[in-house]
Amino acid sequence: MSERPRLWTFRTSPFSGKVRAAFAEKGVEVELVEIHPARRPPRLRELNPLNRVPVLEVDGVAIRESSVILEWIEETHPQPPLWPDDVDRRGLARAWERYIDDALLTNLFLGVRKLAFGTDKGDPEDIVEQLLARVPRQWPRVEAALAETDGPWLMGEAFTYADLTALPLAVRLPEWAPQLAPDPETFPLTSAWLQALRQRPSAAAIDAAGEHRLEG
């Protein structure tokens, strides 16, 4: 790797946020290329035919999708390790990463986006309510997992990408949808987990943005 990596991103994208947090956990500097989500520059589609962020540019190669970028980060910057050493536990951590992406991040951020910018043609009238209601339904499963491993993290004592993936949720939930947060009495472990995520130094990366924004 001969040049500093460039990350195409926008500040409120949860999937860009988890990648920015991963670079912060590794102590690796990355150039942020901020885009306007509603007016995306043509160059982004050249890098990613799906025209979405995050995209990591490094040595002329475009690496797409947040989970793939995390794998690149781990292979090129293995310290501190953010996957378990044991292959079975590593598979479990990867499953948790995917679950948090699909069940928590996607539903919260898509619901908030539709609330702020309008629904799409063909959406049911209550699509926002449907999406947001899926978030608190996940707390029992998270609570059970934290109880099983005796926490404080999903894989036990070690902080992994499974936890890091929830950082955008932990940071944004109190600001955007506090009514969806887990009740501390009913879900004490989950509440403590989200609070511990907010207290990590890498949580600041969730609000990081590129100095200059590119627009189409």
* Beta carbons within 10 angstroms of residue 106's beta carbon: 16
Which among 72, 108, 83, 87 has a CA at the least distance from the CA of 164?
Answer: 83
Q: Which long-range contacts (CB under 8 A, 24 or more apart) does 65-74 make?
A: 65/15, 66/15, 66/16, 66/18, 66/19, 66/101, 67/97, 67/98, 67/101, 69/19, 69/22, 70/18, 70/19, 70/22, 70/97, 70/161, 73/19, 73/22, 73/23, 73/26, 73/28, 74/161
Residues 115 and 131 in one domain: yes
| pLDDT at residue 1, as a whole number | 56
3-class secondary structure per residue, 58-72:
ECCEEEECHHHHHHH
Are residue 57 and residue 92 in the same domain, yes or no? no
- Contacts of 49 by beta carbon, 8 Å cutoff, 6+ apart: none
Distances (CA, A) of 13 to 77, 109, 148, 197: 23, 8, 31, 18
Output the CA angle 131-134-140, nearest 5 degrees: 165
Q: Give the domain CATH number at 50.
A: 3.40.30.10
Does 180 reside within a domain? yes
Shared-domain flag, residues 156 and 175:
yes
| Together in a domain, 45 and 18 | yes
Quick one: pLDDT at residue 166? 98
Verify that 191 and 208 share a domain, yes or no.
Answer: no
Q: Averaged in consecutive runs of 10 residues, what is the pLDDT profile of the chain (216 residues)?
A: 83 95 96 89 93 94 96 97 97 98 96 91 94 98 95 95 98 95 98 98 91 66
Tell me if 189 is assigned to some domain: yes
Q: What is the count of structural domains for the chain?
A: 2
Q: Is residue 1 part of a domain?
A: no
Q: Residues 118, 46: one domain?
A: no
64 occurs within a structural domain: yes
The 8-class DSSP code of residue 120 comes to P
| Gyration radius from the chain CA atoms | 17
- Regarding whether 198 and 120 lie in a shared domain, the answer is yes
Is residue 146 in some structural domain?
yes
pLDDT, residue 117, reads: 85
The answer as to whether 112 is a domain residue is yes
Q: What's the CATH number where 156 sits? A: 1.20.1050.10
SS (H, E, C) 20-36: HHHHHHHCCCCEEEEEE
Report pLDDT for 58: 94
Domain containing 35: what range?
6-80+204-214
Closest among 104, 82, 103 to 93, alpha carbons compared: 82
- The b-or-e profile of 27-59 (16+ CB within 10 A means b, else e) is eeebebbbbeeeebbeebeebbeeebbbbbbbe
**Same domain, yes or no: 185 and 209:** no
Residues 93 and 73 in one domain: no
